[in-house]
A and B are shown apart, each in its own frame.
Chain A
Amino acid sequence: MNILSLFVLLPIIMMAGVWLSRTLGQIRGVMVIGASCLLALSVWLTVSFLSLRAGGDVSPMLYTASCVWYAPLRISYAVGVDGISVLMLLLSSIIVFTGTFASWRIAQAKSYFLWYCLLAVGVYGFFISVDLFAMFMFYEIALIPMYLLIGVWGSGRKEYAAMKLTLMLMGGSALLLIGILGIFFGSGAQTMNVLEIAALNNIPLEVQKIFFPFVFIGFGVLGALFPFHTWSPDGHASAPTAVSMLHAGVLMKLGGYGCFRVAIYLLPDAAEELSWIFLILTTISVVYGAFCACVQTDLKYINAYSSVSHCGLVLFALLMMTRTSCTGAILQMLSHGLMTALFFALIGMIYGRTHTRDVREMRGLMQVLPFLSVGYVVAGLANLGLPGLSGFVAEMTIFVGSFQHTDLFHRVCTLLACTSIVITAVYMVRVVGRMLYGRCTDEHHLALTDATWDERLVVICLICAVAGMGLAPFWLSDLIGEGVGSILANG
């Protein structure tokens, strides 16, 4: 059996394990063992992928395997990874692992973890698939557990938020389905394998121009593309901690990854022609998201809008379509995934203690919750792009790559998007200053205790990852670079 299929199989085994467990201890045991195995597997995959590449293997995808699923319809279950998907798998494993600990004390643990594992099946399956049908299927598998995870375990206006999120993402996938069928029938390929369709590269420009917007918007909805981002703040604000982590950290990356792997890879000519429309939208996303974050007072809303801004930057960089900017986009996906997970984890922990997420009601938390507060400061600094942390590497690469275009339009867009760095600094510094520093006067807050061991584990893991990425980015960008190269070379 192919090694990649383990990524789908393991969460399914975990589901079975959780289903059969009788006590909370057993459920936790299954989850921790499973999540650790996944993490170990993805680390091993990264290492062995690097060594295969170092050994001179230059095929665009490694560990490929394909088995026919629906022969009459030319659908197969095909897997394979390149540098980009290897890193996405690694990111997912880190988030799934830390998310398990972040949900350590959740109510109704059994059904919660069942849905959580199903979500993981969808996410992993999407990143390993190279068949359009399988990709689409896993994409939708990842969407539906969100409804129950938010609706049952969420807080605030959870029913509204869950419904809005599910329906908007489903609307996106409806557009996506048309795009996929259009690509398949337009190319006249013998299978739905992405690699084969890309190799044929024979979709006429008119057809590409019809289906590119469908695919790009379809994935873009999940990547919080400007007019379709409204599910994100409500959804993230209402979701339980680990679900926000997984959703903002990994699921939103499905959007960016899909735009790159399907829309830009398979419809390169249309991407070239139509990118200006979407560049305008993503520039709006970047700047508008940042401004929105400035006026919010709820911590989760601040981060949700910040995610809109940062994920907008991912799509923005992908549409610039230079090798450097696309590398930056993937780096930004990783960086944003890690730091936003850190943010949501910390917010969940702080909320669990103070029972408020309103910035105005908290003051001087550094006094009472030093560990969590320091974590929050680190996350904030990563978010505003301090050198040495992951945000800097990603944004720097993006803007350098985008500025390589010499024409006015691209340059103006780049400059506008650059302003988001400053705006990000404004809201990050404001929140940190307001909430963490000063004197804590609230009696209830003074009695709070700092992080427990499981919470510390989550925070330390994520901070290590963020700092590691910031300090040693070169192996990452090499790994991404070749994946990006082969995708862009198609056009």
Chain B
Amino acid sequence: MYSDFFSMHSEWALTFVLLFVFFYDLLAVGRARRIFHPLVCGLMSCYLLFSAWNLGGGQLSLFGGMYVSTPIANVMKIILGLGTLIVFLFAGEWLHSEENRLKQGEFYVLVLSTLLGMNFMLSSGHFLLFFIGLELASIPMSTLVAFDKFRHHSAEAGAKYILTALFSSGLMLFGLSFIYGTTGTLYFSDLALRLSGSPLQLLSLAFFLAGMGFKLSLVPFHLWTADSYQGAPTPVAAYLSVVSKGAAAMALMCILMQVFPVMIQKWQLALQVLIVITITLGNLMALRQTDLKRFMAFSSISQAGYILLAMLQGVPSGQTALVYYILVYLAANLAVFGVIGVVENKTGLVERDDYNGFAAAHPRLAFVMMLGLFSLAGIPPFSGFFSKFFVFMSAAGGGFYPILLIALLNTVISLYYYLLLVRAMYISPSDEKGAAGFSALCLGWGDKLAFALCLGGILLLGLAGGVYEFIDMVNG
């Protein structure tokens, strides 16, 4: 029984990193504090290498099926870890500022505990473990959103986040209680056999979808998103939009496929409705935003709709497309958030108009941002094109052509608002405020490394077919 504990490699490693950072934060003084950031990034890299090392091996079921680790979930954990590492790299400069220097350790510990929660979500074989993972992922997150506690926006965003998170958790628990009441079990493997699709179970499916909809910020459960992104510190917003969303999407797909295959037609219908309104409304709202963080919030809402397209068919190949989509989305979105963060950190500018003439002042950063935006919009030869194509292909394989048409027409709208930002950077002439601020921009080593990782992802993940094939091979 105890040997089961040691088989949970990535969770163990992550817990170790977490505890180490916690105690280091308590005990380190003087010079030791100055290398805190590099140390944490180094530890995260070691954790990633360790997880990659243990990637081999098949499905593992521990604690009587409570904890189930599948190869594809392990790949997803590595991707999430990678996203976290990039966020840490970007956060370096921001954490060194006067007001945050003392809170540096808290930031790492909180982020790592949400990551741990997500890992449990992905490996759960029982709804209780899933729920604990979900809570572990969302409660520290609200603290992170409110991290800049002296900024009014941030506190408000934190409050909004915790209230909606708790409400959605409550909703989901309510749904789970119906499932337990009708079947007498919460093990995924048993549920697949015992669920019959009775009305009460349908209701629980609806509650479950609504709860996950909050996490994924699907329309109509998206209302917290824009405010939280705007109020949260930029690295936290980046983390929310990529890592948190990716974990929720993957967990949702696994559970829909494992637990609810009986009701496949019902949840396919629900997903179709969610996709159409999420993509369309997300895009239409994004059109109106001028604050870049709100803009990215709505863009990430519509991206969540595209992620759902991969789930529609409910087959393993869709899972591959989903994991690949999240990987590519991670690179592109973090690149854009990285630029926003760097600029905000140094100049305090976050409006789109502030970026007028950015390309002339800072060609490299503007170039990175443009590539990120093109990848998000799905323009070849950047990897976003490939991930979008595969997601569409997965939906077309199931014959969902009408949904596909709507989603594709929406890509045109999304291209419009991404191009608006490109236009601001490259075509509009600069005003004096921006030009003066941009000249002071300089990048630390963490930013450079993070941009290099993102840029590598944007350029290579698509053109090199091997990545997709690897994920597909792992998925079996």
Contact = CB atoms under 8 A, between A and B. Distances in A.
B423 interface: yes
Interface string B362-398: 0000000000001000011100010001101100110
A148 B392 contact: no
A425 B291 CA distance: 53
Nearest to A214: B405
Of listed A144, A171, A184, residue having the most chain B CB within 10 A: A144
B55 interface: no
B469 A72 contact: yes
Interface string B397-432: 101010011001101100110010011001100000
B427 A181 contact: no
Interface in B145-173: none
A408 interface: no
Contacts of A141: 380-381
B396 A185 contact: yes
The 5 closest A-B pairs by CB, nearest first: A174-B408, A181-B396, A72-B472, A137-B380, A151-B427
B379 A148 contact: no
B363 to A, nearest CB: 9
A476 interface: no
Contact of B411 (A147, A166, A170, A182): A170
A138 B385 CA distance: 11
24 contacts: A69-B465, A70-B468, A70-B469, A71-B465, A72-B317, A136-B389, A137-B385, A141-B380, A148-B422, A151-B423, A151-B426, A151-B427, A159-B423, A159-B427, A166-B415, A170-B411, A170-B412, A174-B405, A174-B409, A174-B412, A177-B392, A178-B396, A178-B401, A185-B396
Contacts of A174: 405, 408-409, 411-412
B374 A144 contact: yes
B465 A70 contact: yes
Of listed B320, B380, B405, B408, residue having the most chain A CB within 10 A: B380
A246 B169 CA distance: 57
A450 interface: no
Of listed B389, B392, B409, residue having the most chain A CB within 10 A: B389
Nearest to A174: B408
A152 interface: yes
Contacts of A73: 390, 393, 468
A451 interface: no
Nearest to B420: A163
Chain A interface size, as a band, is: 20 to 34
A72 B381 CA distance: 20
Given A137-B381, A178-B404, A185 B392 contact: no
Nearest to A121: B381
A181 B405 CA distance: 11
B254 to A, nearest CB: 19
A196 interface: no
A140 interface: yes
Of listed B374, B412, B422, residue having the most chain A CB within 10 A: B412
Contacts of A69: 465
A181 B415 contact: no
Nearest to A77: B465
Contacts of B399: 185
Given A72-B317, A147-B422, A182-B401, A163 B465 contact: no
Given A72-B320, A185-B396, A133 B389 contact: yes
Interface in A134-150: 136-138, 140-141, 144, 147-148
